Amino acid sequence: MLDLVHKATLHSMVCQAILVLICLLCYGCGGLSGAKFVFDDTVAIVKNRDVNSLPTNWTAIFTHDFWGASLLSSDSHKSFRPLTTLMFHCEYALLGLSAAHMKFLNLLLHCVNTILMWRLIRSLYVPEVSTARWAILSAALFAAHPIHTEAVSGVVGRAELMFGMIHLLCLLLTVANTGRLGPQTGGLIMLLTAVGMLFKESAVTIPMSCVLLDYFQNGYYHLRFKDQWSLLRTRMSYLFYLLGTLGLLTARLWWQDFETPTFKEVDNPVAHNEHVLTRGLSQQYLLVMNIWLMLCPHWLCYDWALGCVKLVTNIWDLRLQGVIGFYSIVLVALMNFRRLPGMMLALGLMIIPFLPASGIICVGFVIAERTLYVPSIGFCLLSIYGFLYWYDSSTENTHWRTALRILLMLLFSVMMVRTRQRATDWLNEEQLFKSALQVCPDNAKVHYNIARLATDMGNNTKAFQHYHRAIELYPNYESALMNLGNLYREHGQLTTAEEYIRLALQAYPAFPAAWMNLGIVQSAQGKFDKALASYEKALKYRANFAVCYYNMGNLYLEQKRYAEALHHWQHAVALNPRQPKAWANILTMLDNKGLQEDALRISNQALQHLPNDVSILFIRANVLGKLKHYTEAETIYKRVIELEPHNTLYHTNLGVLYHRWDKTQEAIEAYRTAISISAARATTARENLSKLLKRLEREAQVMQR
């Protein structure tokens, strides 16, 4: 008896080790080296002050959406996930803002979910297949499936991973209490559901999945339909789940003031189509597309919005054959659910978690691969269930069974290689966008993102090409039109810039960023009154637009209205303290006015929010030098040079400091370093060095006399 226990324990440990190894081979083992924040990570983490600000702003975390906007704002997507945001914030506070360690934690959670899935399936009662084989094969497929790459390799996929973990824990609780589902278990599951909803809204479906699992595990499907209905009506735990789910939904909607999110057409063209038939048929086709991505994850794309999936406009569209096929499978499952309960259970666990993303409510995407993380649990169960049913029914044909085993191993190998390849795509945005272009060459958003990245990397030729291509594919793409206008402005083509920004405003008149950028162009043209009107229009559509206040300050500076300029810069940093240019302008103005003490005080405030900003540190060092606080100024100059060692100006000003401090040898070295970096730009360093050397020569001659 003891030997059997030891063997069972060893077998359990080996199975779990294999599953973890598959996860590591797909995503780890050096696959995280050089990882960066990509796509949605930038908005949700890098630019989200709720994540990367200290001390912890608890009020903001629990009143803002996942992207950092106020939940009650008209711009909010209403994606309220405070516990996910809090996890990111804790990681930032403990380990800093590092994509590699955040992705590594995602990988660990994926390993945990894989093991939880294995434990869940192993504990099920499904007589028609071997649950031990069903468990290990389904969990292995779950571990290696490429559809999970976005959830695991994209840091924002943390929401899906936590939802998946809580979903699996609730299912395990349900199985453990089969036949004796008391109020304690039901209460715990509803509590976990409430916690899960604070990680991801889709967790509201957890009680439905638990009801489905309890229904099949208790064997209620064997009863006549009339008896089933009578039983379900009197089953108090099911009623408790129903009322609890409705209560959680009401509380969730109340927290966002019962407001619904507003998405643009570029985010979800299907939902914005004016024809009911087109919306309905297209949405049904998207359901099949999601299943196809799980069935054949060859074509994977980080964004399926514009141009990836053509709308289905009539019933004669051949793509609807897939829809008919899917509902035929569902019908067959319903007709045979007493004979094949495992298939029906797997199908239900695939469909129920997907309901929030299925189009029954308006969402801001066409297809989002990370939303398939939890539904894929059901898909993996269904796939391996079908395989085992086929395999077990071929007991007399040993060659066929051998062929099936070989094909299964080949499938796992292909899945692991594809997942590893896809995880590499998610290491940085350049690879990610390039891979998307191969899948969706006519996706305007992909071209837009490639252009935006090219601009950041200084490749303006490539940026122009892809912005124009994005606009060609979708002429009313307001963000692409505005950014192209900004690019023309940077190249001094102000008239062309204004034309494109006005086209952006024609496409979306309430576009605050476009109004602000129009004001910048008009200011550069010397049309100050028109620029001011444009800025005011931007503030009309976004009252707390910090960057707009900064640009208004620049406008007043050009008009030599210094008090108003200073006021608007101060207002900008009050709204968003992480604006280095606004802080730098304030400090420069105070320094120029001779208000060095005020400049030092305000630079301290600025450095609390931007401790490593070079421009603020440099101005502070200059002010300290003027006040003859040489030691402190020297320390800050050296820190600035450490951050940007190849900046001629910083070495020159350090030389000036030493010059004033009468540290002639140090001054000479600083000037010579500046000249060695860029002789053309080091005019001041060259002149100061010449004066210093001449002075030393004269002093030497005097000493000789």
Range of the domain at 378: 1-46+97-280+326-421
Domain-located, residue 289:
no
Question: How far is residue 547's CA from residue 568's CA, in Å, rounded to a whole number?
Answer: 10
411 Cβ neighbours under 8 A, 6+ residues apart? none
What is the SS3 assignment for 62?
A: coil
Q: For residue 423, which of 157, 91, 114, 46 has the smallest C-alpha distance?
A: 157
Alpha carbons within 13 angstroms on the beta-carbon side of residue 571 total 19
CA angle 164, 166, 172 (to 5 degrees): 100
How many domains does the chain divide into?
Answer: 1
pLDDT higher than 90, residue 45: yes
Residue bearing the bigger pLDDT, 447 or 319: 447
**According to the model, what pLDDT value does residue 156 have?**
94
Percent of the chain residues past pLDDT 90, beyond the cut = 48
Residue bearing the bigger pLDDT, 416 or 222: 416
Cα distances from 166 to residues 116, 141, 173, 195, 550, in angstroms, run: 10, 20, 11, 8, 45
Question: How far is residue 468's CA from residue 496's CA, in Å, rounded to a whole number?
Answer: 13
**According to the model, what pLDDT value does residue 361 have?**
77
Quick one: tokens of 29? 């083992």
Question: How far is residue 202's CA from residue 628's CA, in Å, rounded to a whole number?
Answer: 61
599 Cβ neighbours under 8 A, 6+ residues apart? 587, 590, 591, 619, 620, 623
Q: What is the mean pLDDT of residues 89-101?
A: 90
Domain-located, residue 36:
yes
Phi, psi of 363, deg, nearest 5: -120, 160
**According to the model, what pLDDT value does residue 667 have?**
84
Query: In this structure, are residues 118 and 381 in contact, taking their beta carbons and an 8 Å threshold?
Result: no
What is the SS3 assignment for 4?
A: helix
From 495-499, 527-531, 688-692, the region with the lowest mean pLDDT: 688-692
pLDDT higher than 80, residue 193: yes
Query: In this structure, are residues 181 and 174 in contact, taking their beta carbons and an 8 Å threshold?
Result: yes
Tell me the pLDDT tens digit for each residue of 236-265: 778 888 899 999 999 988 888 888 777 777
Q: What is the mean pLDDT of residues 360-372?
A: 82
pLDDT higher than 80, residue 546: yes
Question: How far is residue 81's CA from residue 50's CA, in Å, rounded to a whole number?
Answer: 12
Domain-located, residue 342:
yes
**According to the model, what pLDDT value does residue 1 have?**
55
Quick one: tokens of 62? 């629990």
Question: How far is residue 72's CA from residue 92's CA, in Å, rounded to a whole number?
Answer: 26
Domain-located, residue 559:
no
Q: For residue 564, which of 612, 528, 538 has the smallest C-alpha distance?
A: 528
Q: For residue 370, which of 438, 313, 300, 310 has the smallest C-alpha distance?
A: 300
519 — pLDDT class (breaks 50, 70, 90) = very high
Question: How far is residue 650's CA from residue 637's CA, in Å, rounded to a whole number?
Answer: 7
Q: For residue 566, which of 581, 586, 540 has the smallest C-alpha distance?
A: 586
Q: Identify the bridge partners of residue 64 per DSSP, sorted by sequence position.
A: 70
Quick one: tokens of 83? 């516990």
**According to the model, what pLDDT value does residue 77 have?**
81
Domain-located, residue 27:
yes
- State pTM to two decimals: 0.87
Cα distances from 651 to residues 616, 647, 654, 675, in angstroms, run: 16, 7, 5, 9
pLDDT higher than 80, residue 705: no
**According to the model, what pLDDT value does residue 195 have?**
95
- Tokens 């949605």 correspond to what residue? 40
Please report, in angstroms and rounded to a whole number, the separation of the first and last CA atoms in the chain: 107
Alpha carbon of residue 14 to chain centroid: 35
pLDDT higher than 80, residue 343: yes
Domain-located, residue 29:
yes
Tell me the pLDDT tens digit for each residue of 596-633: 899 999 999 999 888 889 999 999 999 998 888 888 99
Percent of the chain residues past pLDDT 70, beyond the cut = 97
334 — pLDDT class (breaks 50, 70, 90) = confident
Q: What is the mean pLDDT of residues 32-43?
A: 84
**According to the model, what pLDDT value does residue 216 have?**
86
pLDDT higher than 80, residue 397: no
Query: In this structure, are residues 192 and 185 in contact, taking their beta carbons and an 8 Å threshold?
Result: no
Residue bearing the bigger pLDDT, 478 or 392: 478
CA angle 60, 62, 64 (to 5 degrees): 60
**According to the model, what pLDDT value does residue 693 have?**
79
**According to the model, what pLDDT value does residue 29 have?**
66
2 — pLDDT class (breaks 50, 70, 90) = low
Q: What is the DSSP letter of 42?
A: I
Domain-located, residue 192:
yes
Q: What is the mean pLDDT of residues 445-458?
A: 92
Domain-located, residue 272:
yes
Helices (H) and strands (E) in the chain, counts: 35, 0
401 Cβ neighbours under 8 A, 6+ residues apart? 391, 394, 395
Is the link from the previous residue into 55 a cis peptide, with omega within 30 of 0?
Answer: yes
Other C-beta atoms closer than 10 Å to the C-beta of 244 total: 18
DSSP string, 75-111: T------HHHHHHHHHHHHHH-S-HHHHHHHHHHHHH
Q: What is the mean pLDDT of residues 37-53?
A: 89
Q: For residue 362, which of 29, 24, 78, 92 has the smallest C-alpha distance?
A: 78
What is the SS3 assignment for 350?
A: helix
Mean pLDDT of the chain: 88
**According to the model, what pLDDT value does residue 399 have?**
84
**According to the model, what pLDDT value does residue 422 have?**
92
Tell me the pLDDT tens digit for each residue of 636-685: 989 999 998 888 888 888 888 888 888 888 888 888 888 888 877 878 88
Q: Is 352 exposed, middle or buried (0-12, 13-18, 19+ CB in 10 A)?
A: buried
Q: What is the mean pLDDT of residues 81-106?
A: 92
